[in-house]
Amino acid sequence: MTPDNGPTPAETAAAERTASEARDIGGDYDRKYGFHDDESAYDFKSKKGLDHAIVEMISRYKKEPEWMRERRHAALDVFLAKPMPRWGNSKLLDDIDFANIHYYVRASERQGKTWEEVPEQVKKTFDRLGIPEAERKFLAGVTAQYESEVVYHSIREDLDKLGVVFTDMDTGLREHEEIVRRHWGTVIPSEDNKFSALNTAVWSGGSFVYVPKGVKVEIPLQAYFRINTENMGQFERTLIIADEGSQVHYIEGCTAPTYSSDSLHSAVVELIAMPGSKIRYTTIQNWSKNVYNLVTKRAVAHAGARVEWIDGNLGSKLTMKYPAVYLVGERAHAEILSVAFSGKDQHQDAGSKVVHVAPNTTSVVTSKSISKDGGRGTYRGLVKVHKGAKGAKVNVKCDALILDAASRSDTYPTMEVDEKKVAVEHEATVSKVGDEQLFFLMSRGLTEEEATLLIVNGFIEPFTKELPMEYAVELNRLIQLEMEGSVG
Amino acid sequence: MSTSHPPLLELSDLRVAPVADDGSVGKEILKGISLTLRAGTVHALMGRNGSGKSTLSAVLMGHPKFRVTGGSMKYLGEDLTGIPVHERARKGLFLCFQYPMALPGVGVAQFLRQSVKGVRGADVPSKEFRPLVKKHLEALGIPQTFMTRYVNDGFSGGEKKRMEMLHMLLLEPRLAILDEVDSGLDVDALKVVAESINRLRSPERGQLLVTHYQRILDYVVPDEVHVLLDGEIVRSGAADLAREVESRGYEWLAKGAA
Ligand SMILES: Nc1ncnc2c1ncn2[C@@H]1O[C@H](COP(=O)(O)OP(=O)(O)O)[C@@H](O)[C@H]1O
Ligand SMILES: [Mg+2]
């Protein structure tokens, strides 16, 4: 903001100083999350490229049941046959070199139940990321995935005694094969899309959660996903089942080193909310800017159940992610609240999908997107109300905040309503940080950067206030880094 | 007050034009304003709609939409032109907005705290901040829950002006410029606002009270009154000038009027 007749030379010099300091702060991703560990002690790293032999190797190594091995091979055929999607960001999608990816990388053969059992270097990584500390302070359980495998998992004893299962997906399959076989892939079949097929073929790690009837897990479970290797593909697979009347809050976080060539993260997450249960799934995605984040997340909500996707996307090169809820039981409710921050060379193509199948189902979708320094934010949403879903209520609100002329925001809402007796509300706004708002804030002693940050934080407040306090603080800090990192 | 100190505010032949979004400079709105406001005094600037009151208020605070095209504006002897907006605030200027902005998602407490920190240049400890806020809230007749709301978001007209007063009292500005702080207020709210301004009065401070109506001047008695018409001060005088304007309107002061 230039007052009256422009800045004086002294101010210009001061502004340049601030800008260069800010650039250094922006490099903070590298220091805080972008560091890379030595791989010489790795247990196993598959050669680059994908074929049936790799799939066979993964399944054999994991000593999986026959049905899973068959599913993997069938899924690979689906993946190879399916064309690349022609929507989202085709150009970036076409740039993915599937032959140049390591599909399975294992740092260690062991899995720790205490951090002492985790290989020293990997433990150090998670220390740096603050995971053991967070676990001590406010989590009910943690799984930490490093490359393809979960290297640590723990759950509080009291929850264990109540029959709550929180483990990595591989262990889940081994120890709870019946439940897994009944539900795995029912919400997201491998043929759903090219990337769900890919995940089904080469999945490894992820979480398996089962909450028994009536059990309420009051404090969050957390999974942390870390990619370390260059040209790595991480394909975790998560299945969460909340039995009747139960409740669970699951949080995931993720980071990776910054490399000049790309990595791929392609997860599949299935949630099953049985009647009267409640699942909240919170994501703070903070991948480095060379990671493709192509994730399929979908939930089924039975009668009176409530599913909440709280989805924050800050990092990655390209994110394509549309958390979905199928409301199949009467009075089921979906809440999808998302924030996407697109900075330089980033495209966040995110959104939501709600399908009302049963009567009196309700959904609230709130999407907030911020784009800056040429970043691109896309909201892509689908609401479908089937015939017979009488009394369904839908509320969709998309707000975009564009911080400069080089940045871009698009909204593609689709509504397919086949039932008459429904209430559908949709609202979309696009705003810029206005001169008047900045002037008001600066007249009260805030610098332009402080003023902008305050407006941005205010903009995403509806999201932040849903996060546990520690995560809200962290998110605001990350946004601050994003804002500062590119000044000047 | 001794005249050897520079006045709080000294405008001489100040000319101001608007700057459009494309950077082009428009026709002058303020056409040579001269005015000297000394510490310890209240000046009233009166004028009908469109006379340039808000333009003057905004340019003093450094609004980017306006350009000084001639003359000067000095604060404590220093030319304000070119000083960034937040620096002016840090030097002790405060503008009470005619239309305060809503800041959805930004909590009142957070905003005030950050503002006080910015202006003072140091964080205010909660121990000090809380009782201070509490004292002002009580004086302004604002419930404590006000602090947990979002700034001006869904506020009534009266609440917005009380918010501005709260902010002003917390910052204790050396020079407060109040742009139509009285507009749209009922008598009770008007009294609360007037009390706040009076509370701020001191030998070191000054206030420029910008208003369309004489009403508020019954509660905040000015030392000098200036009448602004089409970007020029057409008459200056003592407090009774305001009453004359009230009874006779602005027309008789227009150039060429009898
Ligand atoms: N940004 C602007 N661009 C062009 N003209 C403006 C701008 N701001 C104010 N004006 C004009 O300047 C004159 C004075 O406006 P203003 O200062 O708002 O008056 P007041 O506050 O006394 O009602 C009006 O004619 C108004 O239309
Ligand atoms: Mg005005």
Q: Which two tokens stand for residue A450?
A: 């402080």
CA of B55 to the centre of ligand 2 (A): 7
Chains A, B: CB contacts within 8 A come to: 108
Q: How far is CA A63 from CA A43, A389, B60, B130, in A?
A: 17, 44, 76, 62
Contact call for residues A248 and A218 (beta carbons, < 8 A): no
Closest ligand to Cα B48? 1
Report CB contact under 8 Å: B106, A6: no
Query: For the purposes of burial, counting CB atoms within 10 Å of the CB of A35, is it exposed (0-12), middle (13-18) or buried (19 or more)?
Result: middle
The pLDDT assigned to A3 comes to 39
The pLDDT assigned to A40 comes to 83
DSSP conformation class of A102:
B
Instruction: Count Cα atoms within 13 angstroms, Cβ side, for B27.
Output: 3
In a domain? residue B204: yes
In a domain? residue B72: yes
Residue nearest to atom 5 of ligand 1 (CA): B18
Closest CA–CA distance from residue B172 to any residue of chain A (Å): 12
Q: Which pLDDT band, with edges at 50, 70 and 90, does B256 fall under?
A: low
pLDDT tens string B149-205: 999 999 999 999 999 999 999 999 999 999 999 988 999 999 999 999 999 999 999
For CA atoms B157, B160, B166, B170, the dihedral sign is negative
Report CB contact under 8 Å: B65, A435: yes
CA-wise closest residue to A437 among A406, A458, A407: A458
Is the model's pLDDT at A21 over the cut of 70? no
The pLDDT assigned to B4 comes to 63
Chain-wide mean pLDDT for chain B? 94
Classify each residue of A175-196 as buried b or exposed e, where b means 16 or more C-beta atoms within 10 Å of its C-beta.
Answer: ebeebbeebbbebbebbbbbbb
Is the model's pLDDT at A52 over the cut of 80? yes
Is the model's pLDDT at A20 over the cut of 60? no
Q: Which two tokens stand for residue A62?
A: 């994991």
For CA atoms A173, A177, A181, A186, the dihedral sign is negative
The beta-carbon neighbor of A445 closest among B80, B86, B110 is B86
State mean pLDDT over A364-378.
96
Q: What ranges make up the beta strands (E) of B8-102?
A: 9-18, 30-37, 42-46, 66-75, 78-79, 93-96
In a domain? residue B116: no
Instruction: Give the DSSP H/E element, type plus range, for residue A224.
Output: strand A221-226
Q: Is B41 in the pocket of ligand 1 (CB under 6 A)?
A: no
- For helices A131-138 and A120-128, what crossing angle results, to 10°? 70
Contact call for residues B182 and B157 (beta carbons, < 8 A): no
The pLDDT assigned to B52 comes to 97
Domain count along chain B: 1
In a domain? residue B256: no
Residue nearest to atom 3 of ligand 1 (CA): B18
In a domain? residue B144: no
Report CB contact under 8 Å: A444, B118: yes
In a mutagenesis test of the A interface, which of B16, B56, B85 is the best target, namely the one with the most A β-carbons within 10 Å? Answer: B85
CATH of the domain at B61: 3.40.50.300
In a domain? residue B123: no
State mean pLDDT over A234-247.
97
- B226 against B126, higher pLDDT: B226
Closest ligand to Cα B47? 1
- State if pTM tops 0.90: no
Which residue has tokens 């100083």? A17
Report CB contact under 8 Å: B103, A455: yes
Contact call for residues B189 and B159 (beta carbons, < 8 A): no
Report CB contact under 8 Å: B103, A458: yes
Instruction: Count Cα atoms within 13 angstroms, Cβ side, for A193.
Output: 19
Q: Which pLDDT band, with edges at 50, 70 and 90, does B257 fall under?
A: low
Is the model's pLDDT at A2 over the cut of 60? no
What's the complex ipTM?
0.96
The pLDDT assigned to A34 comes to 81
The beta-carbon neighbor of A454 closest among B94, B97, B114 is B114
State mean pLDDT over A375-380.
95
Q: Which pLDDT band, with edges at 50, 70 and 90, does A81 fall under?
A: very high
State mean pLDDT over A461-482.
89
In a domain? residue B35: yes
Which residue has tokens 């209430």? A423
Closest CA–CA distance from residue A446 to any residue of chain B (Å): 6
Report CB contact under 8 Å: B68, A4: yes
Q: Which residues of chain B are within 8 Å of residue A441 when distances are taken between CB atoms?
A: 103
In a domain? residue B43: yes
pLDDT tens string B204-217: 999 999 999 999 99
Beta bridge partners of residue B93, listed in sequence order: B175
The pLDDT assigned to A129 comes to 87
What span, in angstroms and rounded, lies between the C-alpha atoms of B82 and B10? 16
Domain extent for B73: 9-97+172-248
CA of B49 to the centre of ligand 2 (A): 7
